[in-house]
Structure 1
Amino acid sequence: MATRTTVRKTYKLWVNGEFVRSESGRAYAVHDAAGAFWANVPQASRKDLRDAVAAARKAQAGWAKRTAYNRGQILYRVAEMLETRRDALRAELQAIMGISASDADAELDASIDRWVYYAGWSDKFGALLSAVNPVAVPMHNFTVPEPTGVVGIVCPNEAPLISLTSLLAPILVSGNAAVAILPEAAPTIGLTFAEVLATSDLPAGVVNMLTGSQAELLPHLATHVEVDALNLCGVSETERARYEQLAAEHVARLHHSPNFSRDEWLSPRAQGLEWIEPFLEFKTVWHPMGW
């Protein structure tokens, strides 16, 4: 019997709802936990990042205008489709991260549950974070939350599936769009997860994922005027100051989620209303009333 040719997977960037190669034509090698070659992944360029931000900006308004119920349906659909990709992601987590099958299953279970969790928040966070304000004039004064806009995320190397889920889901549930720079050491997990998003009814451009050198991409992400907020979770505290200064030039919001250990990412500490709130703006309305 003839030996079959091994068909290796081609990993691509996820931009504007499509899997695309880097315009630079560059790639770099990713190795598994044992040091063996796993795959080549695109090394995104400045132009790839600009394309991703432009796609996110174009998609964000439409995503925010969808009803909270519909956004919740789509986040739940992500959980459904992630459940169908368990086998592929389990094998990849085991190979890349060097963890056991039971640990990979635990990360998959936590990721699926977290998407369901945030789907349930879609029509509830607004009620908890809005307020009717007492004022000493004949006005009706109330405050409501709104999405910040386009959020840039730098993902950590630790627990790449559950950490990506924990950073991405609370940003999306309120109507933001995202541009995520995946961890350099384990980018293929996020790119495989993008295949889940591709079949989850998520509008094109709401989520964009890039792979490559964080040192090359981050200055352009931080200075891009269409990026409204940054979460530099995957950047070490000693390196954040440089990017914070760059982001301050166009008054981008800065909020850095804690860079947890694997066990902490799996725990309830990595979810909650406090993960949604940092990427909201609060609009206060004054409405005239009769005496």
Structure 2
Amino acid sequence: MPETIGWVGLGKMGMPMAQRLLREGHPLYIWARNPEQTLGLRKQGARIATDLVELAQRSQTLITILGDTHDVESVYKGLQPGVQPNTVFIDMTTAAPHAAPVLAEMITKKGAHFLDAPVTGGVAGAVNGTLTHFVGGNADILQRSSALLAQLGQRAVHCGPAGSGYRMKLVNQTIIAGIFLGLAEGMALARASHFDIELLTTALNKGTASGMLFNSYAERMMQGGGDITFTLGLLRKDLRLAEAEAELHQRPSQFLKFAVQCVNTACERFGAHAGIQMLSQLDS
């Protein structure tokens, strides 16, 4: 029998991931602060836990993918009274690395297990099951969970002890921030040069500027619109975490300071819920 999964987090990433597990035949229990978020999954066969305690009691594996560190800490505090021995708790949020040992201790005191396993690959990766998980925690527990993670993504990379998955995600976000900012400036220059997206794609999509983010965002940045799959507010949160981590390791980053300033400006102008593509509109 497929194991029973508990799930918290039904945003742009979490919803399609939960749907994938339902299609794979897993009994799925869900909980959300806003019950309206659960309606679609209920129609697809998910069951609704009355509270976080019940969710923890019913789950063999419990997955969270939330907005920020505070959300994770709050949800885990609510889960704690219901934690059952040998349950695996997997947090896929981009969160502060210092939170992981605290969460792990909270869970292991009850005889259960904790992995931090944030993901990269975007909404398309969540829909198509092609995500990469960066995993911190016990390698044996990752091995136990590998078949389940393979239903959500194409790779699960063990990065070290608790907190290492969170840290690797911050490395990833630092790198992609440079790509986003460069792409935004390039698209602004392309507009000023009166290049259209067809010409840009023909000229650039096989060269050194090409890649997944170019393919995903070039047209949206040219237009300053389109689908919102990653928000300015979430990028700002991630970069603030990366900046704090760099300072903790006594490696302050001028780039991260600059990137946070740029995203702050975009948030102030367009709102934190606007898409990343609005970075290309700052000078317009």
**Could you state the TM-score of these two structures normalised by the residue count of structure 1?**
0.30
Specify which structure has the higher proportion of strand. Answer: 1
TM-score w.r.t. the length of structure 2 is 0.31
Greater share of helix: 2
- Point out which structure has higher relative CO (alpha carbons under 8 A, 6+ apart): 1
